[in-house]
Structure 1
Amino acid sequence: MNYQNINKKLKIVISVGDESGIGPEIILKALCSHEIPKNIDFILVGSKKNLIYTYRHLKSLGLKNLANPKNLKIHDLAISLSDNDTKSSYGNSSFYYLTKAIEIVKQYPNSALVTGPICKKSWSLAGHYFSGQTEVLAKSCGVRKVGMLFTAKSPITGWRFNTLLATTHIALCEVPKQLTAELIHSKLDLFKDFCNTFSDKPILKVAGLNPHAGEEGILGHEEKDWLNDALITWNKKNRDINLLGPLSPDSCWNSSVKAWNDKKAEKHDGILAMYHDQGLIPMKVIALHYSVNTTIGLPFIRTSPDHGTGFDIAGKGIAQSQSMIEAIKTAIEMTNNSRLLNTH
């Protein structure tokens, strides 16, 4: 199907993710939310049959506020499921939903992608060896430098809380091996471009790798050996950025808690974390259901709810949809921002 000339409204393409998880449920809940603007053209990529089944099943449980798939624009991909290896089949389906959604987004100059949660193990079982959706997006768009950034807008203060990861889905023991001055400079370049879209003089913080940021080499040597110098070198070339760090990781996010809850608190524009859990633990504790995963460095905006497939609660009707609502709202806000407007 060629979508290119349907109309010029802002389009949000949603890949439903792993259909054996909570993806279909939270999408149907989110699209019925009063928080979602009505003037958006949504295109869902997944199985229409599965979405209709999910809708009917949730209705039978007594849920009322659900978008009816019959009223939604769905790019229906009928990918057969194997009875012998259901996990692999759902992994295969979710992978092709993502790749088709990317293909559709590329056809529009004013569109964004929202991705439902997937299971990396299921992808692997299906023969798709990627550590996450971010890596598929980067390869599909032919870009080498991308960043996994988690963002959330406080419902209390309206402040946007941003945490970028220097390394992503790798084992903890691999983190020190992958961290280099070049990698830090690359991530800070992406972070600067992102923050410059809403702030002329961004304040960025950088968390240290080690406890107490190494305590001058006593608790770890990376900060002393190269990270301090890497930050100084980058900041000399980017004097419009107020760069702070490396800071002790155990207190680096204290100011984020204050900014999230208090309008009068001192604000910062973002924190660069050295590894996945260092950034995600405070992000999820502070922002809870409001946190959104977004990939920066792509030719279009991509967001995703900041949680997994929820296999243990799938089909029970109890999955919270706030993170999916926030993912859609964030995609709309970022795409509508004149300085973030994609040109693909």
Structure 2
Amino acid sequence: MSNELQKPVIGFSCGDLNGIGTELIIKTLSDSRIMDMCVPVVFANNKSINFYKKALPDINLPYQAAKDLTRLNHKQLNIVNCWEEEVQITPGQLTDIGGKYALQSLQQSVAALKAGHIHGLVTAPIHKKNIQSSEFNYSGHTPYLKDEFKVDDVVMLMTAENMRVAVLTEHIPVKEIATYITKENILKKLSILNTSLQKDFGIDKPKIAVLGLNPHAGDEGLIGNEEETIIKPALKEARHRNILAFGPFSADAFFARGQYEQFDAVLAMYHDQGLIPFKSLAIGEGVNYTAGLPVVRTSPDHGTAFDIAGKGKADASSFLAAIFMAIDVIRNRATYAESHSNPLKKISARVLANAEDEKIEENEG
């Protein structure tokens, strides 16, 4: 098989038509070196691409219409025309049109992912309000993809050069967070995260830090008791399942003292507890990765940026990082599949986990 045919096919949903998604796609895919690493397929419309190219006159982006996903051009951008009608694009405006066609793009790209026509999907930002409809009643991409691929649960995992931060709860009101802090949920998220670190990121024996829910991780029950009654028992059970999970840690001290650098990932209890330090301390460009799916999906760690849409000012660094991560994960999964059948590696992981568990129990005693 030639190197050309070994390149993964990466799909791109265009996001909100009035946001910066199409501009990011144009900027990143205009670099011909991307074609050496993957075969890009954009699910949008050539007219919407041309509309945003006008604000980027110095960028050359050759492309062809892809009518058959089994016969893609491996040397230039392929565009799947998800709609044919004329669409009014109004950069920076929150409109029903922006949400309607963002959903069409997402639906068709997911269908291609299910069919195996593309190997990974990079999603441009949607606006969570105007995409709502009878076909999309979700708080974002993550729960939508969970349902589309019929998996029990997934994990929103933010990644950067120096840290990975996952969240137990995602886009829910703060007043409801505590109701989701259960032993079952913690164990489920830890299991998904642990498997993803092994399979998707190539870490044989990942170490995961778990944050407490309350200030100072509850101060041994003085400030809430979730740490003592829920989180600690969940961590003990996780270690019995050969998951190297540690904590619960006081969130403020954990990040302030740089303890996250000692772990392969961090599981935060809620959105802002994890994402505020991530966006403050992350080195390099952040990427949002959905762990737990049978397919590969990444996205940039920002939104639609209506304030600069259509002005040619969007920074494509995070979007480019999302492309690189999708390619890396696809390759890591292939490597994992080849090596996972080795029984010696399984025995080694189990022995290490048992040793770590004994050490922790001695310290706790």
Same fold (TM over 0.5): yes
Using the TM superposition, name which of 181-190 and 32-41 deviates more: 32-41
Aligned residue in 2 for 1:173 = 175
Cα distance, 1:35–1:281 mapped onto 2, change above 3 Å? farther
Aligned residue in 1 for 2:354 = none
**Structure 1: which amino acid aligns with 2:189?**
K
Aligned partners of 1:89 and 1:126 also within 8 Å:
no
**Residues 283-298 of structure 1: pairs in structure 2 closer than 5 A:** 283-287=278-282, 290-298=285-293
Aligned partners of 1:303 and 1:328 also within 8 Å:
yes
Cα distance, 1:232–1:213 mapped onto 2, change above 3 Å? same
Query: How many Å apart are 1:52 and its aligned residue?
Result: 1.0
Aligned residue in 2 for 1:264 = none
Q: Secondary structure at the match of 1:19?
A: coil
**Structure 2: which amino acid aligns with 1:21?**
G
Query: How many Å apart are 1:125 and its aligned residue?
Result: 6.3
Taking structure 1 as the reference length, the TM-score comes to 0.85
Query: How many Å apart are 1:237 and its aligned residue?
Result: 2.0
Aligned residue in 2 for 1:158 = none
**Residues 1-344 of structure 1: pairs in structure 2 closer than 5 A:** 9-33=7-31, 36=34, 38-59=36-57, 64-65=58-59, 67-69=61-63, 71-78=76-83, 81=87, 87-108=95-116, 111-124=119-132, 128-154=136-162, 161-197=163-199, 198-238=202-242, 241-254=243-256, 259=261, 267-287=262-282, 290-337=285-332, 338-339=334-335
Q: Secondary structure at the match of 1:114?
A: strand
Q: Distance in 1 between matches of 2:322 and 2:113?
A: 16
Query: How many Å apart are 1:207 and its aligned residue?
Result: 0.6
Q: Please list the CA deviations of residues 45-94 of structure 1 after superposition, one character each: whole Å capped at 9, or x if unmatched.
A: 012101111012221xxxx34534555200111265479x9711211111
Q: Distance in 2 between matches of 1:146 and 1:79?
A: 34
Q: Distance in 1 between matches of 2:282 and 2:35?
A: 22
Q: Distance in 2 between matches of 1:17 and 1:242?
A: 37
Q: Please list the CA deviations of residues 270-307 of structure 1 after superposition, one character each: whole Å capped at 9, or x if unmatched.
A: 00011111111111112266110111111111000000
Q: Distance in 2 between matches of 1:256 and 1:321?
A: 28
Calculate percent identity across the aligned residue pairs.
35
Aligned residue in 1 for 2:352 = none
RMSD: 2.6
**Structure 2: which amino acid aligns with 1:67?**
L
Aligned partners of 2:53 and 2:59 also within 8 Å:
no
Q: Distance in 2 between matches of 1:311 and 1:68?
A: 26
Aligned partners of 2:181 and 2:230 also within 8 Å:
no
Q: Secondary structure at the match of 1:243?
A: strand
Q: Distance in 2 between matches of 1:235 and 1:296?
A: 20
Cα distance, 1:141–1:51 mapped onto 2, change above 3 Å? same
Aligned partners of 1:92 and 1:126 also within 8 Å:
no
Q: Distance in 2 between matches of 1:299 and 1:106?
A: 10
Cα distance, 1:151–1:54 mapped onto 2, change above 3 Å? same
Query: How many Å apart are 1:109 and its aligned residue?
Result: 7.4
Q: Decide which structure has the larger Cα Rg and report it.
A: 2
Taking structure 2 as the reference length, the TM-score comes to 0.80
**Structure 2: which amino acid aligns with 1:323?**
S
**Structure 1: which amino acid aligns with 2:236?**
I
Q: Distance in 1 between matches of 2:177 and 2:212?
A: 12
Aligned partners of 1:208 and 1:274 also within 8 Å:
yes
Query: How many Å apart are 1:127 and its aligned residue?
Result: 6.5
Aligned partners of 1:118 and 1:308 also within 8 Å:
yes
